[in-house]
């Protein structure tokens, strides 16, 4: 992914600090910044994972699902959606 030098340095520093067991992992991908950052770091570090999004049917749920789908698509990650 293309980013600024500062962002690339931050990502490099964070991925070096990841101390996770071997995958694969499942990531709860809300479509917000926190879960997107986790998914990005896992992808950059080469961890295998899939993503899960829960659409609760609230006012902005469809927007969050669209964001989660875009994030997963950009990272090349499988996204499963559960609608409640």
pLDDT tens per residue across span 41-59:
888 888 889 999 999 999 9
Helix, strand or coil for residue 22? coil
Share of the chain above pLDDT 90, in %: 58
Cβ proximity of 58 and 30 under 8 Å: no
H or E element that contains 10:
helix 5-17
Model confidence at 36, in pLDDT bands (50, 70, 90)? very high
Annotate 13-34 with DSSP letters as a single string. HHHHH----S--EEEE--SSHH
H or E element that contains 55:
strand 49-55
Predicted local confidence at residue 65, as pLDDT: 98
pTM exceeds cut of 0.85: no
């Amino acid at each position: 992914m293309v980013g600024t030098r500062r962002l690339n340095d931050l990502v490099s520093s964070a991925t070096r600090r990841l101390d996770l067991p071997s995958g694969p992992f499942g990531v709860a991908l809300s479509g917000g910044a926190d879960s997107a950052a986790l998914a990005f770091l896992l992808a950059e570090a080469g961890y295998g994972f899939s993503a899960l999004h829960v659409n609760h049917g609230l006012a902005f749920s469809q927007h969050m699902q669209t964001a989660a789908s875009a994030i997963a698509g950009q990272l090349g990650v499988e996204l499963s959606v559960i609608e409640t």
